[in-house]
Amino acid sequence: MDFSSFLTSLGTSFVIFVVLMLFFTWLSRKPGNQVVYFPSRILRGLEPWEGGRRSRSPVAWIREAFAATEADIVASAGVDAAVYLIFLSSVLGIFVLSGLLLLPVLLPIAATDHAYKSLAESNSNATFNNLDKLAMGNVHAKSSRLWAFLLANYWVSFVTFYVLWKSYKHVSDLRAATRSSQAVRPEDYAVLVRDIPADLQGQSRKEQVDSYFRALHPDTFYKSMVVTDNKQANKIWEELEGYKKKLARAEVVFAESKTTNNPEGTRPNNKTGFLGLIGEKVDTINYCNEKINELAAKLEIEQKETLKDKQQAAALVFFSSRPAAVSASQTLHAQMVDTWTVTEAPEPRQLIWKNLTKKFYERQIWQYGVYGIVFLTVVFYMIPIAAISAFTTLQNLRKYLPFLKVIVNQKAVKTILEAYLPQLALIIFLALLPALLLFLSKAEGIPSQGHVIRAASGKYFYFIVFNVFLGVTIGGTLFASLKIITKTPKKIVNLLADSLPPNATFFVTYVALQFFVGYGLELSRLVPLIIFHLKKKYLCKTEAEVKEAWAPGDFGYATRVPSNMLIMMVVFCYSVISPLIIPFGVVYFALGWLIARNQALNVYVPSYESYGRMWPHIHSRIVASLIIFQVLMFGYLGLKKFYYAPLMIPLIILSFFFAYVCNKRFYRSFSNTPLEMAYKDTKEIPNLDSIYAAYIPPCLKPEKPDDVVENYEDAKTNVSRTSSV
Amino acid sequence: MDFSSFLTSLGTSFVIFVVLMLFFTWLSRKPGNQVVYFPSRILRGLEPWEGGRRSRSPVAWIREAFAATEADIVASAGVDAAVYLIFLSSVLGIFVLSGLLLLPVLLPIAATDHAYKSLAESNSNATFNNLDKLAMGNVHAKSSRLWAFLLANYWVSFVTFYVLWKSYKHVSDLRAATRSSQAVRPEDYAVLVRDIPADLQGQSRKEQVDSYFRALHPDTFYKSMVVTDNKQANKIWEELEGYKKKLARAEVVFAESKTTNNPEGTRPNNKTGFLGLIGEKVDTINYCNEKINELAAKLEIEQKETLKDKQQAAALVFFSSRPAAVSASQTLHAQMVDTWTVTEAPEPRQLIWKNLTKKFYERQIWQYGVYGIVFLTVVFYMIPIAAISAFTTLQNLRKYLPFLKVIVNQKAVKTILEAYLPQLALIIFLALLPALLLFLSKAEGIPSQGHVIRAASGKYFYFIVFNVFLGVTIGGTLFASLKIITKTPKKIVNLLADSLPPNATFFVTYVALQFFVGYGLELSRLVPLIIFHLKKKYLCKTEAEVKEAWAPGDFGYATRVPSNMLIMMVVFCYSVISPLIIPFGVVYFALGWLIARNQALNVYVPSYESYGRMWPHIHSRIVASLIIFQVLMFGYLGLKKFYYAPLMIPLIILSFFFAYVCNKRFYRSFSNTPLEMAYKDTKEIPNLDSIYAAYIPPCLKPEKPDDVVENYEDAKTNVSRTSSV
């Protein structure tokens, strides 16, 4: 990529960004779009704009995003969003501090050397551009100028250690403060029990669980809820809900048809057969009412049967105090470790009901199976991605697909293609993965949604590191250097380090594309806006349907965090080799932070709350990126024949030590609740029945909401008594 | 080693064994030796012989050892001894079951082939003996007879899985049964708290610990005991005890001097200076009494000062119920994981007081430091041991030290030297290690004696595997094949597998030496007997001194288990290559089991009780030996050019899977106490004061024993009140 196409890329990206910003300013003022731009505020019952001013300045959102405190963020989007913002600001901090020293020192040192020039003199084939002159590649081998680049690694690393340590402490304190607050959270009073052994005394599961926990926790045991197989009940319930929606819709249609011309209205009809296309024609309202009554009765019978006969080997056990639940969740209960496995209960809305009943060894086998599949996918995805990135450089296209020459040689087409083709290929490719990874993570038998998302996000990170970063870096030079590789397979590390500098501009463009276009789309919410208006106009009839159409969703950490990580990793790895990338990284994370703050305050609604449990994962991946950067720099300094390159080794060891200390000091209080936190709340006993009711799955809730718990309880105990007689 | 020297070795070992057995039968009947042969029974207040018969048959001990139940063993020597016996019987079972199939099948298959013969015909230098003909080496390469040897590996492995699974379950149940018994054990009511953070409110440590635990466990907290720096108090106490002993001794001497000739007696004198050789001459009894009074007063002052000013950042916290202590020990207490570290308390007699106060990171750093030292020692010890074993084969001695020829060529000397020289070198070498390893393990900061012994035993096992087994196997052929190694360093695995068969006879001799001479010495207790009689005659004056002289000590698992492991590993590895080793292994473990049972019933007194916590270590090392055996067989079958050798790979994977499942299923109930066990005891609250008193170190116990706890408590609370005013 030459200098002009680099500038073209930057320029077009920037123009798109400006256009999207203008769109945002213009569209967000229209009252009809409020539900798209301020759904979170509306759901919390606030005015869309502070103070209700409609004619505010176009940059008001920036001022508001800056002015908000962390407590505001927590209140509006939860601790997880606050932790995500801490992640962005930490990386931003690292890059700002690194850039402060690296830019003024390394750029002059690189620019005043002449390695490329002397290469060009001795070898007329070699080409270089003005950007290359500002990078480490322009320094002569064995030059004592390399000392500056070596020390720059130390600076970057120590800055990272400092910022990460402060952030980890901050997140840990934030988690402790919010978890030990007075608010009653059902998951604090419950534990999840799995792998209940077969009972030999002919008790029902419910009796077995009750007697076991009553014996072990005589003072604090409250109640238990045995997990049931709800497949059938769920099916009926979903059908019932479907008819309820249909009825509401038909009633609106009927009401709307009562115009002045036709005061009676037209009663809506539908066909009962496949997709409403064939079969008998019926009056929708009557038909739905009939169906609802029929299904409601069926559901009631099925609910009783489920509670009676479909009890599984897992349960939720409720305690009368938080400390009791915390202690129980961390204490080994049974002598055989694969029975009576007790863990902290997930939030009700995070619970993956189907995974609860998976057996101990089933979970283990699935877990390793999934790891195997992911490993194979990581390895074999590398082949197509390497091919894509190698093919999509324009020179290669021309070389291998000569019939494209006519199009490609056009000046304008060429520049644009050259600027965007590889990056686009990459982005499309990456968009296909998350669904697969979420599915695989769920198959592991993890009981909570938040944990599934963390697991998927971890897998996505491996993909990104191996396929995108290493894939593009090696792949870009793969076709050119295929011969070298086959000859000396051991030198793959050297090859990698060698191919870093030529790929620097690729990644600078990639970063720029991500922040200008990506953030522009994020802030302007063009896609959700269009979808909302289309739906509202053509599909939605009832209030509930309109509300569903603008439901903002959550942040989507499973893909958001890893793609930020990729940028971070790229900037880390090129920070010393080609320090010009740092300002782009700073802009990326600064803009990202600002926009994420706006979205947290106004748009997204969390679908669960894990109190920052994703932070340790983020932390260890930042450290991993740092270590990869250090190893690559070690290789690259070695290639430059710098005798003191081994001085990188203590730095790498230090990084591992840092990771180890952080892990020891902070990690366990994220995976287990410390007793301290549970005890800070010394309030009287909360309404335990409502805590219990929070865990009843919707398909098993009786119609009358006032005696949910009694009904549920009664059904179980009556039934178990009958069955044990 | 040729066949005749092999027989000589066996023969002499057997003669020594018979002689030692005769000694045992003769000596153990003498009443004066009772305290050497039956100390455990005497200490438990039983008659030395059952039913008091003195003229019992020489094999009575065998009958008694067989007749004893596991409960007897637990009663006399504790669960640890019972678990050690389960280890011996498990390995015995594995070898018996293996041998039942391997001996009748493999020996004929090997004997009827002629690989050595054809080798001898084609190459006149090659030698082989009759033993070699019965081994796998005698089977031609690529022969289909190798199928039998391949399948033999499967048989041995499955037998091992079966026996180990049953044993693990048995040990786990035994541990559960004894731990949930009614007996009151102080460690069940206590937890160990380390890394208490610096207190900011000016409280004393005692107040800090009390308020923290009282807040978190309001219903079950009983008392706390802050760990103090007892160095000074301990020094005074030891001096005091020394003078008390000296006084007792002087009084006996004085009493004995009152003969009829000299009814007044002679008052003993001593000099006060260095070693009693110089300085003023004083009357010993008066001098000791003076010193005792002086030191007792000094001790009392020092005790108060220790309790007041030398409180450290660690404590023992006592709870009023077992389940409360169990829950507390497994629950994370503080948000910062490196503060308020709570673990199960070790037994009072296991507690290593000095290690309790080591800080969190200090422990971590020491641990890794020790691992590093051990690793280096393992690697560098290999060099001398390889040299020793290569030198000490007689041929090599003659080759490199020609001046020894005159001695070495004598027929008798030659045979004996050839039989014992390498084995002796090995045994002496191994005797030097345990002390070093115990010292290193203690330096890691482990708080309990039993854990230190497990850690040392683990390290010893690595030594044995790397240095003895691999060292001798490779080293024995090292000098001969030095050229091959330097040419193809990659082929070291092949070399290893290749050098297995020639070393088989070395190890058969080693095993025989171990069981005949080792067990003969163990049973006859010749060394302790001689030492006891010498001490009794020349040194001991008082009753206490005599008792000390025959104190039997414990089993000494730190060295005993690894040396059994070595034999087990050797027999495993040669079981298929040279099945003749199996009977020797069977005899070794059968005799070992029988003698250990006798020693457990009559001799050894446990110095601590860990309820079989060493079993998981033993188990995983047996599995490790099995895997090493499988890998070596894989290599050896490959060397034999057997095409189906890769069929060993599923077996190796299966072994890892077995280890994984066992670990998952059983391990955690060894490292943490399951709540089930703690709750089985529903007795009323025991005497908590006596539990508390059990942990007070001897140097801090006040003189008057009746109000130990009050004094101790008062001192602390008074003091802390004063200091906080």
pLDDT, position B83: 95
Say if the Cβ atoms of A335 and B361 lie within 8 Å: no
Q: What is the pLDDT of residues A367-415, one digit of tens each?
A: 889 999 888 877 776 666 556 656 656 566 666 666 666 666 666 666 6
Distance CA B626, CA B318 (A): 43
What Å distances lie between residue A594 and A50, A369, A523, A587, A601, CA to CA?
18, 40, 10, 10, 11
**A35-39, A156-160, B43-47, B538-542: which has the highest mean pLDDT?**
A156-160
Q: Which tokens belong to A476?
A: 């870009």
pLDDT band at B217 (very low <50, low <70, confident <90, very high): confident
Residue of A nearest to B671 (CA): A332
Please enumerate residues of B whose Cβ is less than 8 A from a Cβ of A. Answer: 172-173, 176, 215-216, 219, 323, 326-328, 330-338, 360-361, 364, 661, 664-669, 672-677, 679
B549 lies in some domain: yes
Q: To the nearest whole angstrom, how far is the Cα of A166 from the nearest Cα of chain B?
A: 14
Give Cβ neighbours of residue A466 (< 8 Å, ≥ 6 apart).
A378, A379, A382
Nearest to A512 by CA among A4, A11, A62, A3: A11
Residues 6+ apart with CB under 8 A from A61: A28, A598, A602
At residue A189's C-alpha, the angle toward residues A186 and A195, to 5°, is 105
- A503's CB contacts (< 8 A; 6+ apart) are A472, A473, A476, A477
Stretch among B20-34, B187-201, B209-223, B705-719 having the lowest mean pLDDT? B705-719
Share of chain A above pLDDT 90, in %: 13
In this prediction, the answer to ipTM > 0.95 reads no
What are the helix (H) ranges across A28-57? 34-37, 39-43
Contact yes or no for B38/B48 (Cβ under 8 A): yes
pLDDT computed for residue B90 by the predictor: 96
Please tell me which of the candidates B332, B664, B679 has its beta carbon nearest to residue A669: B332
Contact predicate A507/A568, CB 8 Å: no
* Residue B563 lies inside a defined structural domain of this protein: yes
Confidence (pLDDT) at A719: 42
* A346: nearest Cα among A314, A374, A310: A314
CB contacts of B673 in chain A (<8 Å) are 332
A189: distance to nearest CA of chain B, Å? 16
Tokens standing for A601? 């305050």
Report the C-alpha gap between A222 and A319 in whole angstroms. 5
What average pLDDT score do residues A422-430 get? 63
CA B66 from chain center: how many Å? 24
Host H or E run for residue B178: helix B146-179
Q: What is the number of domains present in chain A?
A: 1
The angle subtended at Cα B388 by Cα B386 and Cα B392, nearest 5°, is 125
Distance, CA of B208 to CA of B229 (rounded, Å) = 18
Q: Give A185 to chain B, closest Cα distance, Å.
A: 19
The answer to whether the Cβ–Cβ distance between A330 and B335 falls below 8 Å is: no
Detail the DSSP E strand segments found in A287-363: 311-319, 341-344
Q: What is the pLDDT of residue B489?
A: 43
Q: Which two three-digit tokens encode residue B551?
A: 């104190």
List alpha helices for B225-283, DSSP H: 231-257
Q: Which residues of A touch B (CB under 8 A)?
A: 172-173, 176, 215-216, 219, 323, 326-328, 330-338, 360-361, 364, 661, 664-669, 672-677, 679
Report the alpha-carbon distance of residue B158 to residue B151 in Å, rounded.
11
Q: pLDDT digit string (tens) for B581-596?
A: 888 889 889 989 999 9
Q: How far is CA A244 from CA A247, A284, A288, in A?
A: 5, 11, 7
pLDDT confidence tier of residue A483, bands split at 50, 70 and 90:
very low
Residue B262 has pLDDT above 60, yes or no: yes
Indicate the average pLDDT of chain A: 79
User: Band of the pLDDT at A86, cuts 50, 70, 90?
Assistant: very high
Give every CB contact of residue B103 below 8 A, 6+ residues apart in sequence.
Answer: B579, B580, B582, B583
A-interface mutation test, from B180, B331, B338, most A Cβ less than 10 A away:
B331
**Where are any strands of DSSP class E within A157-208?**
190-194
Token pair for B596: 């250990």
**Closest Cα to residue A346, out of A337, A338, A356?**
A356
Within a domain: B202: no
Most confident by average pLDDT, A13-17, A576-580, B536-540, B649-653 = B649-653
A18 inside domain: no
Residues A651, A634: Cα–Cα separation, whole Å: 10
Closest CA to A363 of B651, B664, B659: B664
Q: Which two tokens stand for residue A188?
A: 């604090």
Which candidate in B217, B220, B336 is best for mutational testing of the A interface (most A CBs within 10 A)?
Answer: B336
Determine the Cα–Cα distance for residues A176 and A670; give it in Å rounded to an integer. 9
Q: B328: which chain A residues are within 8 Å (Cβ-Cβ)? A: 327
- Number of A–B residue contacts, CB under 8 Å: 98
Predicted confidence at residue A56, as pLDDT, reads 61
Q: H helices of A180-230, where?
A: 205-216
Q: Is residue A44 part of a domain?
A: yes
Q: How far apart are CA B650 and CA B643, in angstroms?
A: 15
Q: Which residue is it, tokens 């809506």? A: A268
Ranges A626-635, B244-253, B426-435: which has the least confidence: B426-435
Q: pLDDT value at position B490?
A: 43
Indicate whether A93 pLDDT > 90: yes
Which has the closest alpha carbon to B423: B472, B457, B479?
B472
The answer to the question of residue B534 being in a domain is yes
- Look at A187-196, A218-227, A536-545, B496-505 and tell me which has the smallest mean pLDDT: B496-505
Shortest CA gap A91–chain B (Å): 24
What CA–CA distances, in Å, run from A235 to A230, A247, A354, A693?
A: 8, 19, 14, 21
Q: What is the chain B residue with the closest CA to A677? A: B335
Cβ atoms A649, A631 nearer than 8 A: no
Q: In this complex, do B332 and A668 lie within 8 Å of one another by their Cβ atoms? A: yes
Instruction: Tell me which of A322, A332, A611, A668 to substitute to probe the interface with B (most B C-beta atoms closer than 10 Å).
Output: A332
DSSP symbol at A196: P
* Phi, psi angles (nearest 5°) of residue A280: -65, 145
Read off the pLDDT band of B620 (50, 70, 90).
Answer: very high
Confidence band, pLDDT 50/70/90 cuts, at residue A79:
very high
> What phi and psi, each to the nearest 5 degrees, are found at residue A343?
-135, 170
Side-chain-facing half-sphere of B546: CA atoms under 13 Å: 11
Whether residue B111 is contained in a domain is answered as: yes
Given a cut of 60, whether residue B306 has pLDDT beyond it is: yes
Q: How far is CA B410 from CA B12, B406, B415, in A?
A: 18, 7, 9
pLDDT band at A618 (very low <50, low <70, confident <90, very high): very high
Q: Say how many residues make up chain A.
A: 725
pLDDT score at B669: 87
Which of A168, A337, A660 best tests the B interface by mutation, with the highest count of B CBs <10 A?
A: A337
Whole-angstrom Cα distance, residue A660 to residue A657? 5
d(CA A193, CA A205): 12
- Give pLDDT, residue A85: 95
Q: Name B383's Cβ contacts closer than 8 Å, sequence gap at least 6.
A: none
Do the chains contact at A323 and B172, CB–CB below 8 Å?
A: no
How far apart, in Å, are the Cα atoms of A274 and each of A239, A255, A278, B340? 15, 27, 6, 66
- Which pLDDT score is estimated for B543? 77
In a domain, A720, yes or no: no
Listing from the earlier edge strand, what are the strands of the sheet with A190-194? A221-228, A311-319, A190-194, A341-344
Return the bridge partners of B224, or none. B317
Name the residue of chain B whose CA is nearest to A175's CA: B335
- Domain that residue A436 falls in: 3-9+24-67+78-182+362-677
